[in-house]
Amino acid sequence: MITKANFTFGPHGAIRELTGEIAQWWQNAVVRGGVVGLSGGIDSATVIQLMWLAAHNNRSRERVAHVVGVVMPSSANHPMDGAYGIKAAQAAGITHFVFLRESDHYLYVDLFREVDQLHFGSEINLKSLLAEHDLCLVIPIQEVADAMIATVPWVLEDKFHIGNLYSEIRAKILSRIAGDLNLLVMGTGNWDEDYVLGYFTKRGDGAVDNNILGRLPKRLVRLLARVILVPVEIIQRVPTAGLWFGQTDEGELGFSYELAESVWRGIMLNMGYQSIATELGCSMELIEKIVKMNERTQHKRELPLVGGVTLVYR
């Protein structure tokens, strides 16, 4: 029988565990807090909620660390992706938003009631602003991507490679923000995506300092999101990596995350493929596909290999 993981101490206990762990990571790394990319999806919306709780004292609500969310839209994104990213930041208690170009603000003008909480221009002193407020930055990346595509067009002709380029550009922006403001880059990968299927860009959304959701299948992320008050419209969105316009995760994969979770649980229990297929009502070919995805992406989950040259010390 294929069993499913559940929270030992319920979702509220899980929130206490996860927020305590985030706070400990920040303290151990001697950083001011964390930065996370906001895609408009459930994973990043859940992570920024956990970050905000970790950054504010449970009793006094005094801010003890800093939280930065970054929305990075491209032409591959649906216009609502950016809007939901901003909504995720607002739901997490962030009230100050930075737009590099004032014109970008007009795409989301209906989301803001307090115009004095909006900041525009590249000359803003983020360190001074962050000292007073948690922040959400809105940084369009299409111009950067277009420059890269124009520089090496022969390796960026396929939409798959261009999609990964978007992810890699976002990772570079998060990395530089983290370096400048002394923050950790917070990952948003869950168990099914990252640790079963390897469904992430190695040098993109995989270039993070941690994965607070890494032990949770998508099913439990959804449960956690509901309890932690992620906006319901974000919870109900169809998962997408935003690699190209109209792309969805399950459409590209050909199966659901919940099925991948169950198949991999059967593998971990040393069940045979036929037993798994019979219990789940799926094909042997689908099980083989999931197993092959895990095997092909194992390199993404490992540290770089080191040459084994023999040395002698004298």
Q: For each of the domains in the chain, give its residue range(s) and CATH number, in order of start.
A: 10-248 (3.40.50.620), 254-299 (1.10.10)
pLDDT at 87 over 60: yes
pLDDT tens, residue by residue, 271-281: 999 999 999 99
pLDDT tens, residue by residue, 129-169: 999 999 999 999 999 999 999 999 888 888 889 999 999 99
What's the distance, CA 204 to chain centroid?
Answer: 10
φ, ψ at 62 (rounded to 5°): -65, 140
**Separation between Cα atoms, residue 44 and residue 144, nearest integer Å:** 23
The closest of 117, 110, 54 to 82, measured between CA atoms, is 110
pLDDT at 158: 84
Element (H, E) at 81: helix 79-91
**Separation between Cα atoms, residue 142 and residue 79, nearest integer Å:** 13
pLDDT tens, residue by residue, 219-252: 999 999 999 999 999 999 988 777 767 778 888 8
Query: Where does the pLDDT of residue 312 fall: very low under 50, low under 70, confident under 90, or very high at 90 and above?
Result: very high
Residues forming a β-bridge with 118: 97
When the pLDDT of each residue in the chain is averaged and rounded to a whole number, the result is 92
